[in-house]
Structure 1
C-alpha cells in the first residue's frame, strides 16, 4: 500500500491493521500500543488468537465480530474487517468495554431491584390472601399480627422506592458540580436533631463553622444515611459519635463511628455496590434497602470528595467523608 495511505492511517486514534494474507502488513500507533510494537510482519493468528476474528479475516466478504480480552481480561472489542485489493484486509478495532459494562450493570440493577420489590410484595399478597379467609380474619390476635407484617413489608417497599428515586435523581445530575454554600456544622446538628433518642448520638467539631460548596439536600441525606446505619448496626450501649474536623489543608473530614459488631474485611470493598449487604438477614430485618451506601458514594463523588469505610470485627465501624472546603475571603 502507498506510504501516504499508511501515513493517513497512522493519524487515526483507534487501532488499525492492514493484513495481507496471514501477516500484519501495517499497524498504526494505537494498534501497536494495544497488541505490541512487534505486531508488524507477525502472523495474524498469533496477534489476535480469536477464532471468530480469524474466521472473519479469511472470509471473502469481511464483516464485524466481537473480540474479547485484547487489552485486559474481560475487555470487549468490535472488529470490522474490510476487503481491499491484493488480498489485503483493513482491520479496525473499537473498544466496547465501557458500553458492555454499563449495559450489564443496568441489567443487573433492574434484576436486583425487581427481586428486592418482589420479596415484600409476595409477602403482602400472601398475608392479604390469608386474611381473606374467615377463619384467620376473625381472630383478632392473628389479624393484628398479619396486619403488622403487611405494614412492615409495605414500609420496606416504600423505603426501597424512595431510595431508587433518590439514586436516579443523583445520577441525573452527577456531572453538575453543586454551587450552593453549605455550612456543615449546622447541617450535622440539624440531621442529628431529627433523630429519635433511642441511641445516644454525640457530636464533636473542631470548628464553629465549616463551609463547603454543595447541595444541602444531598449532603443531609449522606449524613442521615450514615447515622442511620450506625444506629441500626452499632448497638445502643456506647452510642454513635459524629465528628467534624476542618484541616489547614482545605479539607473537611466528617466521620461517623459506631461500636457494634464490625464488618469482616472481605465485605468492605463491596459495601457501596447497589443492593450489596454484608449480612442480608440482619439488614432486611433492620429495614435496610441495600442502597444507602451507594447513594452516599454517588453524592460524595458529585461533590468531588472521598468516601471510605474502615471496620474491625468486634470493635465497630467508621465511615469517613472528606470534602473540599470553600476558601475564605
Structure 2
C-alpha cells in the first residue's frame, strides 16, 4: 500500500512540474514535448505500482484459484448421488454438516444442516469418536446401540476426503438384529419343544424297565400310551419344522401349476373326517360346486387348509360347529374357517403367526399343538400371494380367513 501511494505522489509531481514548465514557456514546442514525456513517465510509474494477481497471491502464500483443491461436497454430481441414496448420508466440512440427504433429514431433523456433526448425531459413542478422529482416520464401523430409540441399532462409517471434508454413512441394523434374535429364539424354542416329550419318553421307559416284569397290565398300558403320545408329538414337531424349512426355501418361487382350491379343501376335509381326529362331525361345509382354479402348490395348500381347520377343532368348544366356507370375491377367492371357542384377546392376535407363540401354553400342549401351525399358514399364504386375516372375539370364537388370487382365465 505504501509503495502504491509514493508512486502516485511521484507521478503527480512529475505532471505538475511539466505543467509549470509548459505555462512558463508559453506554448513552446519543447516545453510541450517535456510535458508529454513527463505524463508518459507518470503513467508508467503508476502502472508499475499496480498489483498483479500472481505476484500478490504468491507473496501472501495463497495458491491461485485454479490451483486450489476443489470441494467434493460442492460438486453437482455429489449432490445428485446423495439424493439417490436410501440410507442416511451426510457431507461434513470442518466438522460442520454441509449437505444431508432426505433419509438423514428424516432421521436427524432438518436443523442438522449447518450444525456441528458432533451434536447432529446425538449418541455418546459417536460424539466421543468424532471428537478425536483425525483426517487420516480409517473407514471403520461404529455401533450406535439403542439409537435413535431403545432396541434399535445403527452403524456409522466415515470416509475422509481432502480439504478437511468427510462423508458420514449411517445404516439401520435393527432388522438384522431382530432376525438374529428370531433365529436364536427359534433354535431355543425348538430345542425346548423337542426336549420336553423326549424327557417324558425316557422317564416312562425307565419306569417300565424298573417294573422288572411285574404283572401290572393297566399301568404298563398307560405308560406305553403316554410314550406313544409324546413320540407322536415329537414326530409332528419335526414334520412342522421341516415344512417351515421347505416353504421358506420356496418363498421366492411362485407356483406355476394350476390347481382347484375347492377340490383341495374337499379332499382335506374328507381326510380329517376319516381320521381319528376329535370332533370330525362338527365340521360344517359351505363350499358350493364351482371350481376355483388358482396357481398353487397342491401339497402346501392342503397343509394350509389342514392347519386352519385343525386349529379350529382343537380350540373350539366340543359339539359346536367348525364352519368351512369358500367364497369367490371378484378375481380372488376367500377361504374362511370359524369356530365357537373361547376367542382370543386383541393383544395376542398380531403374534399368533410367530413360531412357537401360544396364547395358552398349557392348553396348547394338552391338545397337541406345536405352536407352528399358523406360522406355516402365514408362509404358505405369502408364497401364494395370499392375504391372511384373523378375527376373534373373546367368549364367542375365532375366524381365520385367507384370500388368494384366482387364475387369470378363471
Query: TM-score, normalization: structure 1?
Result: 0.91
1:111 to 158, 165, 188: 188
2:126 is paired with a residue whose SS is: helix
Does the Cα contact within 8 Å between 2:119 and 2:127 map onto a contact in 1? no
- Alignment of 1:277 with 2:345, yes or no, is no
Query: How far off its partner does 1:230 sit?
Result: 1.2
Task: Select between 44-53 and 18-27 the one with higher mean Cα deviation.
Answer: 18-27
Map of 1:241 onto structure 2 = 323
Map of 1:256 onto structure 2 = 337
- Change in CA separation of 1:185 and 1:18 when aligned onto 2, cut-off 3 Å: closer
Map of 1:175 onto structure 2 = 252
Does the Cα contact within 8 Å between 2:97 and 2:117 map onto a contact in 1? yes
Q: How big is the alpha-carbon RMSD for the aligned residues of Structure 1 and Structure 2?
A: 2.3
- Change in CA separation of 1:265 and 1:255 when aligned onto 2, cut-off 3 Å: same
Structure 1 residues 10-29: aligned runs within 5 Å: 10=79, 11-12=81-82, 13=85, 14-20=87-93, 22-29=95-102
Query: How far off its partner does 1:266 sit?
Result: 2.0
Q: Answer 1 or 2: which has greater helix percent.
A: 2
- Alignment of 1:122 with 2:199, yes or no, is yes
Map of 2:117 onto structure 1 = 44
Provide the rounded CA distance (Å) in 2 between the counterparts of 1:86 and 1:299: 55
- Change in CA separation of 1:29 and 1:265 when aligned onto 2, cut-off 3 Å: closer
Map of 1:59 onto structure 2 = 132
Offset from partner CA, 1:3-58 (integer Å, 9 cap, x none): 44443443041433244554324334443343233322212233111111122222
2:112 is paired with a residue whose SS is: coil
Does the Cα contact within 8 Å between 2:118 and 2:130 map onto a contact in 1? no
Offset from partner CA, 1:71-103 (integer Å, 9 cap, x none): 665432221134455554432222323322221
Query: How far off its partner does 1:163 sit?
Result: 0.1
Query: TM-score, normalization: structure 2?
Result: 0.74
Q: Answer 1 or 2: which has greater strand percent.
A: 1
Provide the rounded CA distance (Å) in 2 between the counterparts of 1:136 and 1:6: 91
Runs (5+) with no aligned partner, structure 1: none
Based on CA coordinates, which of the two structures has the bigger radius of gyration? Answer: 2
- Change in CA separation of 1:178 and 1:130 when aligned onto 2, cut-off 3 Å: same
Query: How far off its partner does 1:148 sit?
Result: 1.5
Task: Select between 40-49 and 128-137 the one with higher mean Cα deviation.
Answer: 128-137
Structure 1 residues 173-322: aligned runs within 5 Å: 173-196=250-273, 198-200=279-281, 201-247=283-329, 249-322=330-403
- Change in CA separation of 1:137 and 1:224 when aligned onto 2, cut-off 3 Å: farther
- Change in CA separation of 1:23 and 1:75 when aligned onto 2, cut-off 3 Å: same
